[in-house]
A and B are shown apart, each in its own frame.
Chain A
Amino acid sequence: MKLGLVVDLDTCVGCHGCATACKQWNTSGTIGPLSDKDPYGKDPNGAWLNRIRTYEVDDHPNSKTVNMPLSCMHCDNAACVTVCPTGASYKREEDGIVLVDQDKCMGCNLCSWACPYGARELDPHQGTMKKCTLCVDRIYDERLPEDERKPACVMTCPTKSRVFGDFDDPNSEVSQLVRDRAGKQLMPELGYEPVNTYLPPRNKPVVETYEPKSIKATVKGWVNKVIAR
């Protein structure tokens, strides 16, 4: 099994719901609290496992706003694991999930340096490294109804822009989406072979925009129209 997420950049509206749900679920999950430093102060700072950035792609009038959620890609070739000196970072054989054993981590930050996607953040209170667990404490929990055995971020997304599944199974929803929508990996040139895949926005006709003209041009156009009549 190769578990991971597909993120649809066409439909993501950048609501930050997945990031909030992630923090809410995981702060009481297997990797312990996701602490905040000075949460109500002037300069709050805290550990998040998922962050959403917003970009403008292409130039006017073809420009488009793209919201890009980034969490751990559970890379096949995860250098964050091999650089870890303590063995706290590991990748599970059975499903490819990359995790940090909180009891072994010494907080050296090296894994966060090795990660190209900014997926690892040091917990400001515990001094240990935190990262997306792919909600390993949800997806296998047999006490949850079967359709809820999904990551918190996937469950909460109001536009269904996040899909969870097995990339090794060619018939899974994620594999089909990647095929049909030409899914992309980010920064493939670094060779980390990220599992999470991003679906590019669909091509849509450019929306016509109203261009205000100068008064002279408006009057000229109006006069031309009158004369032509």
Chain B
Amino acid sequence: MVTDLKELNIIIAGTGGQGVVVLSELLGNAAVTAGFKVRGSEVLGMAQRGGSVFSNIRLGTDIESPMTAEGKCDILIAVEPSEALRNIQFLSKNTTVVLNIRKVIPYTVSLGQSTYPEIDQIVAKLKSVANKVIALDAVEYAEKAGNRQSTNVVMIGALFGSGKIPISPETMKEHIATKFAGKGADVNIKAFDLGYDIIKKQM
């Protein structure tokens, strides 16, 4: 189902160990299956040691570079709430932000080197730039699906539930099933569906 889509920019933000890179691989593979030209980029290496992780996936006929330009993000998926703020320069009033509200507190907060904002403050700040901000407790839905580790897949379900992705949810689910063989596939498909439904209702 290739459309004449010119440019769609998706940014996924989180912290080391949250499966951000897995998400971008899944999404990119599904986009290739759907026949899109796809570009993306992420930070590997240093960022894996508990640091911030950022990935972006871009689809469409007009995209050339692996990086979304500032102010051009269409959808921001934040698997960790403060990481949404860290990428605020990519947002515009046209951006939809999907936010997991579960915090991962960095050690700099324990050391008193920085402070962690309240979720309400984060949402308010994001809303001052982007028109649509959807917050959900993705960990809760992942646990409901059967595994906390599937939090990232709840978020990808939420992304598709937003209706902003020109790829069929079935194509995405096929890739999820291929990636997580056996019992993991069922849990992750369920996680996807839960994320999908909760956001679809809110859109």
Chain B binds chain A: no
Residue numbers of A with Cβ under 8 A of B are none
